[in-house]
A and B are shown apart, each in its own frame.
Chain A
Amino acid sequence: MQTITDFLSADHRSCDELLVAVEHALADGKWEFAQAAFARFHDGMLHHFSAEESLLFPLFEQSTGIYRGPTQVMRAEHAQMRQLLDAAAAALAARDADDYAGNAETLLIMMQQHNVKEENVLYPMCDQHLAAQTPTLLPELQQVLAAHGEVAP
């Protein structure tokens, strides 16, 4: 059976791919293409946050009774990443390549250190504590993530 760790780690990787697409478009000087690619990335990130914040984290908090632990830190980091996403979007709209590169690089490191914490620590804890709920949880998560594809194909 698929684990929460596998399922959500795979979504992390697909967000990575979307970010890389922006970088390549910019390296080729294709601004419009980069903006469209960024919109897909931005959207993918927001859906990922939303899947965690609306489904996974509350379930983890209820089943472990830990409300002020890792999920609190993860929510705070989501907030920081939302700000970086906005800053990168603004730089892209202003066609400021340096400002975009700086914000995107900061976002990349923020994102990856966040992903390491989730993939090495939080998701395995979820797998351990939410084993019984996983068969129903995964399709629900899938639904929130899939909404992303519909908004920005």
Chain B
Amino acid sequence: MQALLSFDQAPPISAPFRFFLTAPVFALLAGLLLLASGPQVLASRWTPAALALTHLITVGFMLQVMLGALIQILPVVAGANIAQPLRVAILVHALLVPGALLLVVGLLLSDTLALRLAAVTLGLGVAIFLAAAGRALWGVPSGNPTILGLKLALLGLTITTGLGIVLALALGGSFALPLLQLTTIHFAWGFVGWSTILLAAVSLVVVPMFQMTPPYPHWFARLFFWSVLVVLAGWSTAHFLEWQQPADVLASGMLLLLTVFAALTLHLQRHSKRARFDATQRYWRLAMLSALAASTLSLISLLLPEAAAGRQLPLLWGVLVLFGSLMSVSTGMLYKIVPFLVWLHLQNAGGGRILAPNMQQVIAKRQIDHQFHAHVAALALLLAAALQPDWFTYPAAVALFVASGWLLRNLLAATAFHRQHRQRIASLARATPVPRPG
């Protein structure tokens, strides 16, 4: 209950920003890796470079954005204050960055030592975050579906990371395990148990309130999280034990749940009362359309197992889920969170006497639009590369590099804006003494 008794002021701006600024660097590295390794990366999803690429996006980009955003939104959405948020952020970030790099090097070069070190650093980084967030959420009642969703997402992150550590150690030769099954289960927990549950929990608040749509229906808010978790746990068991038929049925159930979420969100966004669509809403729409396309592909692969065994379908699916869906929605959220935080911290620095410039001045709208177009072009080229690696891998790599570089440029512009105006406000504040009351 103590957590509920006060909303701390927002954590220092550098707590979330360190995550937000390093995330696009990993996406840039993904572009470079694709450029360096060329079309053979896409020979299968199991090539060392494809695995390294996947983790540059998931651990390097997405995990950073998601943890940075959670440090910011847990107090707002759940009244759950993380104790000493800056210290937690510094520590977690300082472990995640080298951890992600070690993991990528380990996967790329099949280097046992790097994989083991990655397991330790990433495991420790995520554990510290989970302990801090778990402590903040402990005792916050789960009556509200968003809060329940956030708690279950943390459980999903725990299982994803746990399985990831086991896999990294097994790849490092520490023990023999059914690697293929465990990898698929690890991916399902990362994608569904952590990312989708987190996204849905956040959507329940963000979509209706910030995009001014009707609320998600009660049945969805009440049933979605537990349904996903139960089906996912059931599927994991069946898949691990190689019970093919129950696993297929449960996988279809999982896909159905994801489809319902994506379709419902698109439906709500179509009824947004906002007069015009901004970049964030366009990113959300792209993400939900990609998720629907990925679900359709999965359905095809369940019906036509021969196609699923081929090279193209899993790669297309990976591009749609990782880049089209999760990276799009994370980028769209960054374009709201980052300018708002810059405004909020400048406004606080001015103490209500010196006004901060409004948030739309933080990153030029034109630059956001350009970056969005680069992102869409990268998605199209990555999909084309999954189908025709020989023709499209290099253009896709360049497009990914450009889109990520542009995102980094836009986020750096926001930090430069913050620094410049903080100095201006500080000097103005010195020049205008606080009026004495009375």
Query: Would you mind naming 20 contact pairs between A and B with Cβ atoms under 8 Å apart?
Result: A16-B209, A20-B273, A26-B275, A70-B6, A70-B79, A73-B6, A73-B9, A80-B347, A102-B358, A105-B358, A106-B359, A109-B210, A109-B359, A112-B209, A113-B340, A115-B209, A116-B76, A116-B205, A120-B77, A120-B147
- Is the C-beta of A27 less than 8 angstroms from some C-beta in chain B? yes
How many pairs of residues, A versus B, come closer than 8 Å at their CB atoms?
A: 82
Bitwise interface map of B from 204 to 220 toward A, beta carbon under 8 Å scored 1, else 0: 01000110100000000
- B-side interface mostly: helix
Q: How far is the CA of A74 from the CA of B76 in the complex (A)?
A: 12
Closest beta carbon of chain A to B28's beta carbon, Å: 28
Contacts of B358 in A (CB 8 A): 84, 87, 99, 102-103, 105-106
Chain B residue with minimal CB distance to A23? B275
How close is B111's CB to chain A, nearest CB, in angstroms? Answer: 44
**Closest partner residue, chain A, to B10 (CB atom):** A113
B340 touches A121 (CB 8 A): no
> How many residues in A have their beta carbons less than 8 Å from beta carbons of B?
36
- Is there an interface contact between B355 and A106, defined as CB atoms closer than 8 Å? no
Q: Are A73 and B360 in contact (CB under 8 A)?
A: no
Given A116-B205, A120-B147: A106 and B77 within 8 A (CB)?
no
A25-41 contacts to B, CB under 8 A, are 26-27
Against B, the Cβ 8 Å flags (1 = close, 0 = not) of A66-106 are: 10111001000001100110010000000000110111011
The 0/1 profile, CB within 8 Å of A marked 1, for residues 65-96 of chain B is 00000000000111100000000000000000
What are the residues of chain A within 8 A of B344 when measuring CB–CB? 110
Complex: how many Å from CA A17 to CA B209? 11
Contact among A16, A73, A106 for B7, CB-based, below 8 A: A73
B276 cross-chain contacts in A, Cβ below 8 A: 27
Hey, which bits of chain A sit against chain B, CB under 8 A?
16-17, 20, 23-24, 26-27, 66, 68-70, 73, 79-80, 83-84, 87, 98-99, 101-103, 105-106, 108-110, 112-113, 115-117, 120-121, 124-125
B359 and A20 contact, CB distance less than 8 A: no
In the bound complex, how far is the Cα of B4 from the Cα of A73, in angstroms? 13
Interface residues on B, range: 20 to 34
What are the residues of chain A within 8 A of B209 when measuring CB–CB? 16, 112, 115-116
Interface of A is mostly: helix
Is A113 touching B76 in the complex (CB atoms < 8 A)? yes
Q: Which residue of B lies closest to A20 (CB)?
A: B273
Closest to B80 in A: A121
Measured between C-beta atoms, what is the minimum distance from B2 to chain A in Å?
11
Beta-carbon nearest neighbor of A104 in chain B: B358
Does any Cβ of A come within 8 Å of B271's Cβ?
Answer: no
B135–chain A nearest beta-carbon distance, Å: 17
Instruction: Determine whether the beta carbon of A23 is less than 8 Å from that of B343.
Output: no
CB distance from A23 to the nearest CB of B (A): 4
Contact B210 A108 (CB under 8 A): yes
- CB proximity of A8 to chain B, nearest CB, Å: 15
Q: How many angstroms from the CA of A66 to the CA of B79 in the assembled complex?
A: 15
